[in-house]
Chain A
C-alpha cells in the first residue's frame, strides 16, 4: 500500500512540474505575440522568435516527452542527429539571398 502511495505521490509531483512547464510555455508564447508587434529589424525579430521557439521545443522535449529523465545515450543519439541534419538544410539560405539580389530591378 505504501509503495503504491509513493508511486502516486511521485506522479502528483510530476503533475505539478508539468503544469509549471505548461504555464511557462504559455508565457513564452505571450512574449512571442508581443514581440511580433514591436517594430524590430527582421534579423533581430527572427533571432528572438527562433530563440524562443527553440526554448519552447526544448521544454516540450525535456518534460512533456520525458527526454530529461531518459538515458543519456538516447538523448545523444536523437538530439545531435536532429541538430546536424537541420543545420545541413540551412546551407541553402545564402543561395536565397543571392537569388534576391539577382532579380531584375
Chain B
C-alpha cells in the first residue's frame, strides 16, 4: 500500500517537472512579461518614493502648475492613455476572435494614442524649459523640483516611446499573420503597465503641485 502511494506521488512529481505544462496556466511569453512588469514597477516605485521623500524633506516645494495649460493638458494626456488602453483591449479581443484586420486597426489606434501623449508631453516640456526649469535648476526654488519632474516624466515618456515602437512592430506582424493573439496580449500587458504608472505620476507630480492662486 505504501509503495503504491509513493509511486503515485512520484508520478505526479515527474508529470509536473517533465516540461510541457504551463505554470500558472499562462504561456512563457506572458509570464515573462508579468515578471518584467513586476521589476519595472519597482523601478517606478523607487523613483516616485524618492521624489516623495525629497518633497517631504523640503521646506518649500513649488506648486507652479496652473489649470491652463498644464493641468488641462495633463488631464488630456491621461485621457489619451486611458483611451489607448481601451483600444488595446479591443485589439486583444479582436486578435482572440482571429479578426486580424480589426486587431491591426485597434493596435494602430492605440499607437496613435501613445503618439498624441508624447506630442502633448514634449510640448509641456518645451514650455517648462523656456521658463527655466531644467534637470539642474528651477526658477521657483529648489532645483530638485526640476530634477524629479524631468526624471520621473522622462522615464515614463521613454517607456511610452518604446511602447509605441513595440505597437508598430506588432501592427505590422499581426497584419502579416506572423504574430498571434498571445503576442498581442503580451504587448497589451506592457501598454497597460505604462498607463498604470501614469495613474500614479499624474496625481503625485501634477495634482499635488497645483497653483491655487
Q: Give the B-binding residues of A (Cβ under 8 A).
A: 7-8, 11, 14-15, 18-19, 22, 25-26, 29, 32-33, 35-37, 39, 45-46, 49-50, 52-53, 56-57, 60-61, 63-66, 70-71, 73-74, 77-78, 81-82, 85-86, 89-90, 92-93, 95-97, 99-100, 103
A26 to B160, CA, bound (A): 20
Is the Cβ of B89 less than 8 Å from the Cβ of A29? no
Known: A7-B97, A33-B75, A36-B210. A60 touches B192 (CB 8 A): yes
Name the CB-closest residue of A to B34.
A78
Determine the chain B residues whose CB is within 8 A of the CB of A63 once the complex forms: 89
A64 to B93, CA, bound (A): 11
Determine the chain B residues whose CB is within 8 A of the CB of A37 once the complex forms: 67, 210, 212
Determine the chain A residues whose CB is within 8 A of the CB of B210 once the complex forms: 36-37
- Starting from the known contacts A64-B89, A64-B192, 7 additional A-B residue pairs (CB-CB under 8 Å) come to A11-B97, A18-B86, A22-B83, A36-B71, A64-B188, A86-B42, A92-B53
A-B Cβ contacts below 8 A, count: 131
B14 is an interface residue with CB less than 8 A from chain A: no
Interface SS of chain B: helix
Known: A29-B78, A89-B49. A50 touches B203 (CB 8 A): yes
- The 6 closest A-B CB pairs, nearest first, are A96-B56, A74-B24, A36-B207, A99-B57, A49-B203, A96-B57
Give the size category of B's interface with A. Answer: 35 or more
Determine the chain A residues whose CB is within 8 A of the CB of B53 once the complex forms: 92-93, 95-96
Q: Give the A-binding residues of B (Cβ under 8 A).
A: 24-26, 31, 34, 38, 41-42, 45-46, 49, 52-54, 56-59, 67, 71, 75, 78-79, 82-83, 85-86, 88-90, 93-94, 96-97, 185, 188-189, 192-193, 195-196, 199-200, 202-204, 207-208, 210, 212
Is the Cβ of B24 less than 8 Å from the Cβ of A71? yes
Determine the chain A residues whose CB is within 8 A of the CB of B42 once the complex forms: 82, 85-86
Determine the chain B residues whose CB is within 8 A of the CB of A99 once the complex forms: 57
